[in-house]
Structure 1
Amino acid sequence: MKVYPQNASDKLGFLEIKEFIKLKCLSEAGREMVDKIQPQNKLDQIDRFLRQTNEFKDLIQNDSPLPVDHFYPIKNVAEKARLEGAFLSEEECYRILLSLRTVYAIIRYFNDRQGLYPHLELLFEHLPIETKIVRSIESVIDDHGRMKDNASRLLLDLTQQILKSEQEARKRLETVFKQAQNNGWTADGNLTIRDGRLCIPILAENKRKVKGLIHDESATGQTAYIEPDEVFHLNNKVRDLTFERRREVIRILTELTSELRPHVPLLLAYHGLLTKLDFVRAKALFALDIEAEMPELVKQAEFNLINARHPLLFLNHKKGNQGTVVPLNIKVDAIDRVILVSGPNAGGKSVCMKTVGLLQLMLQSGILIPADATSKVGVFNQLFADIGDDQSIESDLSTYSAHLSKMKYFADFANANTLVLIDEFGTGTDPQFGGPIAEAVLETLNNKKIRAVITTHYSNLKLYASHTEGLQNASMLFDNVQMKPLYILQVGKPGSSYAFEIAQKIGLPKEVLELAKQKIGVQQKKVDTLLVDLERDKKQVYDTKIAINKREKEMILLKEQYETLNHDLQENKRQLIKDAKEEARQLLKDANKLIENTISDIKSVAADKEKTKEIRSKLNQAIDQHTEKKKKPNPTVANQKEIIDQGIEIGDWVKILDSGAEAQVLEVAKNNNLILAMGELRTVVKQNKVEKLRGKEKAKVVRKSHAASTSSIADFHPEVDLRGMRTEDALQKMELVLDRAVMIGYPSLKIIHGKGDGILRRFIREYLRKYSHVSRFEDEHADRGGDGITYAYIG
């Protein structure tokens, strides 16, 4: 992809993006690879780079960590081993060993997941696991990076001889030292090392009494450091053995390097794999930081960005700096090829244009972008940008001359596969001439079918865009009541610069403003007033749309509640009918049994009048009992009006007539339904099924409830730790604790979910937004966990 001018990428912020990615690299080779990132224009290559990054992002979020313990740069070591006669040091061999272990662990990792990350697997396709190299190094180098004593027989023998000679020399030296001490020849202190030799501290007046070599004297000259003759020859032997051992070590390393030499191309391939993995890993980690996704890639030179954010502004916002990043929605295609953005200063026009340019550079460089995955982005062969002031003293270019130079280049070389970005089009000279020149350049570029995002304040350009095919006006919304920008792009109509309104807010004197209004043309004043009115109408329509959407969601929720309550009502109705039928069946059965027993008793007394009369009396009593039981007015029915008119309100205590249980009213719903709380349980009951508690009964149940609630509060811990849990399990656990907090009236809940990749935090906060009893939520203080902890306030 060709970028003009050369510094356009830097002005769009692409260099800063690369610096952020470099911070994620583990190796210098990876950082060098980031420096070489350039936008590409081959669709299949871009697609492969994006998919590799997306797969690595998925791996980080959902799979076991990749074993990347050691990323040593082994390229230079391998190049050194290529030279005949050269040998690698023990440390260099150890680095190769650790790097090979990492490479083989990575290859096994992907072999175990074959087919799961197809584009990442292409990085090490056909690379073998050459265990022979590892075995060769492990036979010589230990796990601390030093030569093994048994690397060869001679080395082991020399090592043992050195150890034996050192012990003998030490023993003899200690004997001489002890004799000298007994004779009072020694100075204060113990054995010491001088010139790499163990020596005895002897008083200067006694130095002739000990035969040996004087290696040093003290600063005062009162102490001489002597190596006795009998030890001197043993120390020389140790030194000779040490030199011989060093020669054997070099021989072994030379032999090992010769074994590695045929495998140098493979070692360089391993180095390339580690570097590429480090590079892709850094891009994936950066993508997680900016919450980037992979959009749909298309061949055409067009884009449709949905909820796009400027990555640098987004990172700045995540650090806790003030301000919010408002998502951008913008579309450029074969129909609407040029978007002309107007609006007030500091309203977000330049940020809108730079977001488009930076995201296009990132995408064509194989970097995921912070926009919805439903976005569509095409491939451009060229990106031309005119941003900022490029005046040059050396080239004798003024600001406007620099702009014109770029316009000439754009007009000469732009085509339908060129994305053109121009900031403050036409400025830098007299508006009377700058406007027409800008319009002429825009017409020329439009005839070339370019794709562009251009910002301007010039009214003639807005007018030209309104009646020219392929051009589309757009504006950054502005709240002209509170006099602040909204940073929302709306396509279809131009925007006002709000010059007078902003000047008035700043405090420019009224007489100055009136004088300015008199000096502008009447027609221009009408146009600007019309734009302001249009902006206000657009804002009202936008607010109304949001309010309607909110109301629609509320209606859907009410409908769901109604359907749930209706379902419960039908279930209760079916249960009541079932219970009534069962009761009638049982009553009929009892009545038949009573009649049969009565007839049997009458027959048994042989029609004795007194006995019969007594039996009939018992029968009548039984009938009266059943009749009284059935005729007793059902309080649910008889006192229905009274119960409904009890004036039950939220917070009242009631008694459920069917069960006799006491409960508190949480909500008075439609259709005479009450939502009640019984301890930590909630239930829905009709008003005609309850009786409002008053006086002593209410006081008694409130005391009992308060005691239970106090106990419940004492047992309740307002903190829930969801780290490491799956999303479904975490939400279920949080819901239980949140319901209990609401039931006992606890004011807040601390939810620990960790930072990680932010997925669990996003699901938790989405759930909290829908939970009606949560008034707001916020991050913990940065010193105590920051956005890894959420505080939910209940009210």
Structure 2
Amino acid sequence: MIFPKNAIDKLGFLEIKSLIKEKCLSEPGREMVEKIQPQVKLDQIDKFLRQTQEFKDLLMNDAPLPVDHLYPIKPLAEKARVEGSFLGEEEFYRVLLSLRTVYAVIRYFNEREGLYVNLALLFEHLPIETKIVRQIESVIDDRGKMKDNASRLLLDITQQILKSEQEARKRIDQVFKLAQNNGWTADGNLTIRDGRLCMPILAENKRKVKGLIHDESATGQTAYIEPEEVFHLNNKVRDLEFERRREVIRILTELTSELRPHVPLLLAYHGLLSKLDFVRAKALFAIDIEAEMPELSKEAEVNLVNARHPLLLINAKREQQMTVVPLHIRIDEVDRVILVSGPNAGGKSVCMKTVGLLQLMVQAGLLIPADATSKLGVFKQIFADIGDDQSIESDLSTYSAHLSKMKHFSEFANARTLVLIDEFGTGTDPLFGGPIAEAVLEALHKKGVRGVITTHYSNLKVFASNTPGLENASMLFDNVAMRPLYILQVGKPGSSYAFEIAQKIGLHRDILEAAKQKIGTQQKKVDTLLVDLERDKKQVHDTKVAITKRERELETLKNEYQQLNSHLEENKRNLMREAKEQAKQILKDANKLVENTIAEIKSTQADKEKTRELRRELHAAVDKNSEKRTLPNTAAAKQTAEVDEVIAVGDWVKILDADTEAQVLEVAKGNNLILALGDLRTVVKKSKVIKLRGKERSKVVKKHRSMSTESVADFQPEVDVRGMRTEDALRQLETVLDRAVMIGYPTLKILHGKGDGILRKFVRDYLRKYNHVSHFEDEHADRGGDGITYAYIS
């Protein structure tokens, strides 16, 4: 599929595999990574990609997968398969831990049935055979050692050993004490020699103690003697230990025989753990390179949107300085081959290698650092000519090596072949290299290949511009600052900027002028035209960027205007409603007053004095209602006048619509104020507030100070987000952080756990963006280490 074989290395695919290997927890997982190869079956590629995408979603948004112990079960199962063999205590302990991990994983996915459909295929139809675990647990303890009560005989032997050892120790202590009292012992205490407990006796006294001499000191002045009284007891202990070992082997052999029928299931469990480790490593690598799953196509096409070279991206993250310019490129039935030209070190080769590497990654089931809207087909062949493959042993020069590849390309390429050629035509006399390269390109074009080719040859640029299916493209270059922009511009060829770059480097002007005289007039005009075209393209690009930025600003202003207009309409409706209600009430009161007045006049039989008095009361009521109606306008005028006053950070204001006091945190653009309402923050227009002064301000400050004191007393400077989804964890963290800032608390303890480090990464990324967090650090290693973060609030 790939020609030549070293092309996969030159495109950087082996480095990608090495980085994924580092994420594996087990050797079987690393072996699976080593076997990664590009596939050609669309359904298989789709399954691999979806499994990786689901595992990535799991790592970022779900509880950690319980994969603490991934011991390779296969070699242990193969050993247990042999009749008469047995597994050791440590080997059974590894099987036990691995089985616990398998069952925890299966339960994990069973609890999330339907959520990770493609990952569930890894352990489909695998049963949870708890009988195996129970059998092993009845023999092996949690330290990986055999239990003393694994059998009745083993328990009896163990107790006898203990009793005999205690008796031997008691007896040797008595003998040693007697020897000390007689002055026969050397400096030191009882010691072990040849596995036996011995006494240190001075050499001149060794005949005074009956026993077996096991060793002497380097100087010969001390002899290590096992007393005769203890010798037989120690022999008894040794015999009992041999007997215990025979019983242990019998139990292990019996347990292995019980395990033997389950060997096929153990091998299936091994496969599950290896695949899980493998997919997990791919998902962790995808998170590192900010990868997404592209859309797969049945056609032979490439449409990359915001694509970045993964190795460059990782290096940029390490350096924390350089940025990777995204690549946009489309290869389809219309534009089958993209011919990229432009200056040296302008990014032509990186562009070509990015296309090739990302295509290899997708066909190998790896997510790629490009937008999810990207679309890639499946190529049955990938041919690449990159770098210098000269060989002294094979008698191949640089150009001969290139030509041998071109021969293979032209003979075996087809419409399902992706061709990648770097510096097409170089390595020989340009007068001959250019025409040969053009003829090869014409032959490849007739075969309908897809691909990316980089070149400096003008005849290839002209051929591409006159041939349907071939498309010129160039890497943009800032010919004012004399630096590459690493942006691919499809549609026009680019200049090599040879003279401009030479001039910037400082090559003497006379040499440059002589060089210009030596090239043809026509070629000089073409190159000048390309330079001018490049300058125009850059201006157009800059203009497009400026227009896009302006459009975003206008859209923002438009949305703000619509929000303000909606707010004003709402206020207008509220005022109209209140006015109508007030008018109804006034009318109702007026009618009632008129009716009462008429009734009074009738009851007094139209007495003039009484009628005059009632009329005065009626006029007084009318005047009172008129005053009530003008009062809000007066207050509004007063408030409007006060709005124009200068409002600064720290001032206390009253929100007119809500009749609530708040403190100014920030004076933002557009006459907006950011206000603190207790533990909450809100944005309000200046025209909607009035500044508080004097006694009214003091009263509000005193009230809020007492509230703040209560908040400090009740506030817990700790937040536990372990086991939460990322969104829920960040929302909880934001709430507690905001409250800590409002009450002026200096530190916040965040418990996020260790796991795969995904939640810790998102928590710390959020803290970096939070303006009021000055810095953060790990908890002390004895108290949680990097599973806990302390944030310091400024």
TM-score range, shorter chain: 0.7 to 0.9
| TM-score normalized with structure 2 length | 0.85
Corresponding residue SS for 1:578: helix
The CA distance in 1 between the partners of 2:29 and 2:633, in whole Å, is 83
Deviation for aligned residue 1:44: 2.2
- Residue pairs, 1:625-774, within 5 angstroms: 634-635=633-634, 666=667, 675=672, 680=677, 756=758
Q: CA 1:700/1:100 → structure 2, altered by over 3 Å: closer, same or farther?
A: closer
Q: What letter corresponds to residue 518 of structure 1 in structure 2?
A: Q
In the other structure, the counterpart of 1:446 is 445
Partner-residue secondary structure (3-state), 2:425: coil
Matched, 1:97 2:99: no
Matches of residues 547-696 of structure 1 in structure 2 within 5 Å?
547-602=546-601, 613=612, 616-622=615-621, 634-635=633-634, 666=667, 675=672, 680=677
Query: 1:657 Cα deviation (Å)?
Result: 9.0
C-alpha distance 52-739 of structure 1, shift in aligned 2 (>3 A): closer
From the superposition, tell whether residues 182 and 100 of structure 1 become closer, same or farther in structure 2 (CA, over 3 Å): same
C-alpha distance in structure 2 between counterparts of 1:182 and 1:790, whole Å = 62
What code does the residue aligned with 1:358 have?
A: L
Name the % identity.
Answer: 70
SS for the counterpart of 1:269 is helix
Deviations 1:542-596 (A, max 9, x none): 2222222222222222222222222222222223333333333333344444444
8 A Cα contact 1:158 1:245, kept in partner: yes
Q: Given that residues 776 and 790 in structure 2 are in contact (C-alpha distance below 8 angstroms), is that contact kept between their aligned partners in structure 1?
A: no
Give per-residue Cα distances to partners, 1:14-39, cap 9 Å, x unaligned.
11111011111111122122112222
Deviation at 1:731, TM superposition (A): 7.2
For the aligned residue pairs, the C-alpha RMSD in angstroms reads: 4.3
Listed one character per residue, the Cα deviations across residues 144-191 of structure 1 (whole Å, up to 9, x for unaligned) are 222222223322222222222222222222222222333333333322
Structure 2, gaps ≥5 residues long: 780-784
The alignment status of 1:349 with 2:348, answered yes or no, reads yes
Separation of aligned partners in 1, 2:480 and 2:611: 98
Change (3 A) 1:737 1:521: farther
The unaligned stretches of length 5 or more in structure 1 are 769-773
C-alpha change, 1:757 and 1:707, in structure 2 (3 Å) is same
Q: Which residue of 1 aligns with 2:782?
A: none
Work out whether 1:112 is the aligned partner of 2:111. Answer: yes
Answering whether residue 482 of structure 2 is matched by residue 483 of structure 1, we say yes
Greater CA drift, 12-21 or 101-110 = 101-110
Determine the structure 2 residue equivalent to 1:56.
55
Contact in 2 for aligned 1:87/1:257 (Cα 8 Å): yes
Tell me if the contact between 1:140 and 1:148 (Cα under 8 Å) persists in the aligned partners: yes
Which one is further off, 555-564 or 581-590? 581-590
In structure 1, C-alpha distance between the alignment counterparts of 2:227 and 2:749, rounded to whole Å: 75
Residue equivalent to 1:468: 467
Q: Which residue of 2 aligns with 1:412?
A: 411
| 1:182-581 alignment, distance < 5 Å | 182-581=181-580
Query: Which segment drifts farther, 134-143 or 379-388?
Result: 134-143
How does 1:18-29 map onto structure 2 within 5 Å?
18-29=17-28
1:771 aligns to what?
none
One-letter amino acid of the structure 1 residue matched with residue 400 of structure 2: S
In the other structure, the counterpart of 2:165 is 166
Q: In structure 2, what residue type is equivalent to 1:77?
A: L
TM-score by length of 1: 0.85
> C-alpha distance in 1, partners of 2:425/2:656?
81
d(CA) in 1 for partners of 2:253, 2:730: 62
Counterpart residue type for residue 351 of structure 1 = V
Shift of 1:751: 13
Are 2:662 and 2:676, in contact at CA under 8 Å, matched by a contact in 1?
A: no
Distance verdict in 2 for CA 1:789–1:253, change over 3 Å? closer
Of the structure 1 ranges 581-590 and 708-717, higher mean CA displacement relative to structure 2 is found in 708-717
CA distance in 2, matches of 1:429, 1:416: 29
Q: For 1:42 and 1:75, how far apart are their aligned partners in 2? A: 29
Q: 1:789 to 1:26 in 2, by over 3 A?
A: closer
The C-alpha deviation readout for 1:393-447, integer Å capped at 9, x for no partner, is 2222221111111111111221111111100111111111111111111111111
1:142 equivalenced with 2:144 (yes/no): no
Check the 8 A contact 1:649/1:668 in 2, yes or no: no
Q: State whether residues 79 and 85 of structure 2, in contact with CA within 8 Å, keep that contact through their aligned partners in structure 1.
A: yes
Distance 2:522 2:68 in 1: 71
Please say if residues 212 and 228 of structure 1, whose CA atoms lie closer than 8 Å, have aligned partners that are also in contact: yes
Shift in alpha-carbon separation, 1:723–1:121, aligned structure 2, 3 A:
closer
Deviation at 1:129, TM superposition (A): 2.8
Q: Name the CA shift for 1:758/1:489 in 2 (closer, same or farther; >3 Å).
A: farther
Other structure's SS at 1:493 match? coil
Preserved CA contact (<8 Å) 1:643 1:690: no
1:199 to partner: Cα distance:
2.1
Q: For residues 201 and 474 of structure 1, what CA distance do their matches in structure 2 show?
A: 90
With over 3 angstroms needed to count, the CA separation of the structure-2 counterparts of 1:372 and 1:136, relative to structure 1, is same
CA contact (8 A) 1:421 1:453 kept: yes
In the TM superposition, residue 707 of structure 1 has moved relative to its aligned partner by 10
**What is the deviation of 1:737?**
9.3
CA distance 1:68–1:426, change in 2 (3 Å): same
Cα deviation, 1:487-507, whole Å, max 9, x if unaligned, reads 111111111111122222222
Task: Give yes or no for contact 2:778–2:789 (8 Å, CA) kept in 1.
Answer: no
CA distance in 2, matches of 1:520, 1:265: 75
What SS does the aligned partner of 2:226 have?
Answer: strand
Amino acid of the structure 2 residue aligned with 1:538: K
CA contact (8 A) 2:741 2:793 kept: no
Offset, 1:46: 1.8
Is 1:156 the counterpart of 2:155 in the alignment?
yes
Which is further off, 37-46 or 184-193?
Answer: 184-193
Give, in whole Å, the separation in 2 of the partners of 1:524 and 1:789. 64
State how far apart, in whole Å, the 1-side matches of 2:161 and 2:663 are: 90
Distance 1:429 1:295 in 2: 40
1:495–1:183 Cα change, 3 Å: same
Q: For residues 270 and 662 of structure 1, what CA distance do their matches in structure 2 show?
A: 62
SS across alignment from 1:582: helix
**Contact 1:417 1:450 survives alignment (8 Å):** yes
- Name which structure has the greater RCO, CA cutoff 8 Å, separation 6+: 2
SS at match of 1:39: coil
Q: In structure 2, what residue type is equivalent to 1:356? A: V
Find the aligned partners of 2:790 and 2:495 in 1 and give their Cα distance. 41
Relative to structure 1, the CA distance from residue 743 to residue 491 in structure 2 (aligned partners, 3 Å threshold; closer, same or farther) is farther
Cα distance in 1 for partners of 2:627, 2:262 equals 105
Would the aligned equivalents of 2:352 and 2:452 in 1 still touch at CA under 8 Å? yes
How do 1:3-18 and structure 2 match up within 5 A?
3-18=2-17
Alignment of 1:78 with 2:80, yes or no, is: no
Question: Is the contact between residue 215 and residue 226 of structure 1 (CA under 8 Å) also seen in structure 2?
Answer: yes
Mark the CA change 1:579 to 1:282 in structure 2 (over 3 Å): closer, same or farther.
Answer: closer
Does structure 1 retain, via aligned residues, the 8 Å contact 2:165–2:234?
Answer: yes
How many residue pairs get aligned? The number is 771
Change (3 A) 1:655 1:383: closer
Compute the displacement of 1:49 (Å).
Answer: 1.9
Task: Give the CA deviation at 1:722.
Answer: 10
| Kept after mapping to 1: 8 A contact 2:778/2:790 | no
Kept after mapping to 1: 8 A contact 2:300/2:379: yes
Shift of 1:298: 1.8
Question: 2:433 is paired with a residue of what secondary structure?
Answer: helix
Which deviates more from structure 2 when the two are superposed, residues 407-416 or residues 200-209? 200-209
